[in-house]
Amino acid sequence: MTITEEVLANGRTYDWTRDRAIRARLVVLLRALDAETGKPIRDSLDVAVSDPALGGRFFGDGYVLLVVLEHRGWPSGTCTLTLAHPDYRAFRRDVALPEPGAAPLDLGDVNLVPRPTFVHGVVLQDGTPVADARVELESDVEVGATEHPLALRVPLGRDVGAGTVVERRPFAAAGALARTLTRARAGERALFLSDRAGLALGSWLAIGADPEQHFVRVAALGDGMPALGWVEIEGALPREVPAGTTLRRVAPGALAGSARLTRDALAGDGVLWVDAAMIGPGTVAVTDRVAAWIGAIGDGQGRFAMRGIGGAPIVRLRARAAGLVHPDPGERIALERPRVFAELRMTAP
């Protein structure tokens, strides 16, 4: 038997349809929006609730309703609500449920963050690849002058909160080369090294070489012989480190500029949004646990890649190479798809 009941939420009436004759009551409501455009999610959205006494349903214009199914009894305490969509990062929130007979809990607008985009392409001059060009992100007019994108060569391996200070500091070699003896997967927090000489709590390590070199900080020295063994790191590895990868101890130099994050940055993000422009070559230290090179660097064939790009519907790419210019306004690209290809055309001054 199919029944349809009307549910009133935020001045709108919705039909709640079940495949058997059970009565449902509204207990929680919210509206899911795109965090970058502010527009409601209009296509399918999966709604999951940890409490089996609750049912979730997505309606048009972004509205999500949770109802309690009376035949199972009214739940109490909290439940975990999960919203999932293939184009957005999963949203999870612990929700304190209202008491029986109380007014429904209105969570208001909930922002879903789009999944970041993989931006790749080639830098050219008159159709010829430009080797070793540097590619950076710049603000587009829609973003405004008070917020600036800072592209990282390798995405973050941990979450970093809004307001965190981002420092621009050079990193210089401070120890001998070593190599990894086993593979470490993205997300893992330890490396097995051939040589731990000179390492201590707080030491920085540069892993690999350009264009994919990234940095981690030593959290502890694990079990092993004095010369080799496990090294635990702060946070998690942002990408896989194959066995045999070279690394060396590095040390940060003098402060060369700083800014603050204007919004939260999540693990996997390859762009930071900061309150001051930080364009140019070099490295940044994001807290005392995270560091990365600024911008992407192309290979000998002019090819470049930028992972984890997001935070605005549209951004601009700017290529930089000795003796060449990238005419204004750079390359304007829309982050509408999981992968975006761009040709950056440079000219002689």
For the stretch 144-195, pLDDT in tens is 568 889 998 888 878 889 999 998 888 888 988 899 999 999 889 899 999 8
**Cα gap 58→185, rounded to integer Å:** 36
pLDDT of residue 139: 79
Please name which of 124, 228, 253, 241 lies closest in space to residue 189, comparing C-alpha atoms.
241
- The parts of the chain modelled with pLDDT lower than 50 are 1-5, 9-10, 17-23
**Cα gap 267→47, rounded to integer Å:** 23
pLDDT of residue 227: 64
**Cα gap 76→82, rounded to integer Å:** 18
Taking the mean position of all CA atoms in its chain, how far away is CA 145? 22
**Cα gap 320→298, rounded to integer Å:** 10
Six-digit token pair at 198?
A: 């000179």
For the stretch 127-148, pLDDT in tens is 999 998 999 988 776 555 688 8
pLDDT of residue 61: 83
Render 9-75 in DSSP notation, one character per residue: ETTEEEEEEESSS--EEEEEEEEEEETTT-PBP-S--EEEESSTTEEEEE-GGGEEEEEEEGGG---
pLDDT of residue 3: 39
pLDDT of residue 141: 61
pLDDT of residue 288: 65
Show Cβ contacts of residue 64 under 8 Å, excluding neighbours closer than 6 positions: 29, 30, 31, 32, 45, 47, 56, 57, 58, 83, 110
Encode 52-85: b = buried (16+ Cβ within 10 Å), e = exposed: ebbbbbbbeebbbbbbbbeeeebbeeebebebeb
Asked whether 193 and 231 are in contact (CB, 8 A), the reply is: yes
pLDDT of residue 72: 73
Tell me 181's DSSP state: S
Write down the residue that tokens 């051939």 correspond to.
Answer: 194
Segment holding 107, helix H or strand E: strand 105-112
**Cα gap 39→341, rounded to integer Å:** 26
Amino acid at 32: A
